[in-house]
Amino acid sequence: MTGLCKAFVRPDGDQVVVVEKFDLKVKKGEFVTLIGHSGCGKSTVLSIIAGLCRASSGGVILDGREITLPGVDRGMVFQQPNLLPWLTALENVLLAVEAAEPGLPARKRVDIAAHYLRLVGLAEAMGKRPGELSGGMRQRVGIARAFSLRPKVLLLDEPFGMLDSLTRFELQQALLDLWAQDRKTAFMVTHDVDEALFLSDRVAMMTSGPRAHLGRILEVPFSRPRNRAAVLEHPDYYRLRDELIEFLNAEGKQ
């Protein structure tokens, strides 16, 4: 992401610059989290990476190519999984596999969809429709769908924000275990300090808007593979947590 800027025009004709001169390089196989206050432009940055909206200036380069449109090289996990209610869990994931691998035999595509559902713990729920699944189970389907694309980059937009604490902790660990299998490049938006520290290699801190930009980057030293107990016991955990909170508190007073 280089010189990323996004401006919107109000109904009265005035222009509002939401994100300005946002610069961030994410290394292959790295898990980076973008944190900031609600409304600062985090999801706008993510939407530009996903190709869901165009930058006003600057741009995003992925594997030597500028992103302008959505593509199966980016797997997206939304806050709401947005499953098609008339399809089963398997059929919802299969839609993604068919988009990413249209040349594969039908049986092979089904095998891929089933494989990722098993990895997120839904081996016994593949034939259930979304209305028969809990919120956490539906989000597991959303995670399986994103991974089933076998994308170059995994994008996550506050994927656990609507879940209760226990389910959120379980899915954070499930995501981390699945991600660790092939270390896809991952970029996640969150406002949860503990979530950012648990999942990330680096935490990028965004200033408050308007004209939000990258404020600071925090390196996360916890070894991988990770589990929550080991992270909480790490001698640097609360120091790093305090640094994130201090930054957010300072931005909140702007």
Check whether residue 115 and residue 227 sit in a common domain.
no
What confidence score (pLDDT) does residue 104 get?
94
What is the model's pLDDT at position 254?
Answer: 63
Statement to judge: residues 167 and 248 lie in one domain:
yes
CA dihedral defined by 177, 230, 206, 219, rounded to 10 degrees? -100
The CATH number assigned to the domain holding 170 equals 3.40.50.300
Whether residues 92 and 208 share a domain: the answer is no
Measured CA to CA, the distance from residue 182 to residue 209 in angstroms comes to: 35
pLDDT at 92: 97
> Residues 115, 235: one domain?
no
Are 60 and 127 members of one domain? no
Q: How many other CB atoms are found less than 10 A from the CB of residue 225?
A: 8
Q: Which residue has the tokens 């691998």?
A: 101
pLDDT at 253: 63
Residue 198 is part of which domain span? 2-73+153-252
* Residue 95 and residue 67 share a domain: no
Domain shared by 59 and 160, yes or no: yes
Give the pLDDT of residue 24: 94
Same domain, 46 and 160: yes
- Joined tokens for residue 51: 């190709």
> Which pLDDT score is estimated for 252?
67
User: Exposure of 21 by Cβ count < 10 A (0-12 exposed, 13-18 middle, 19+ buried)?
Assistant: middle
What average pLDDT values come out for the chain (254 residues) when binned by 10 residues?
Answer: 88 87 94 90 92 91 90 92 95 96 94 95 95 94 95 94 89 92 93 94 91 93 92 95 93 68
What strands lie across the sheet with 202-206, from one edge to the other?
74-77, 153-157, 185-190, 31-35, 202-206, 214-219
pLDDT at position 175 is 93
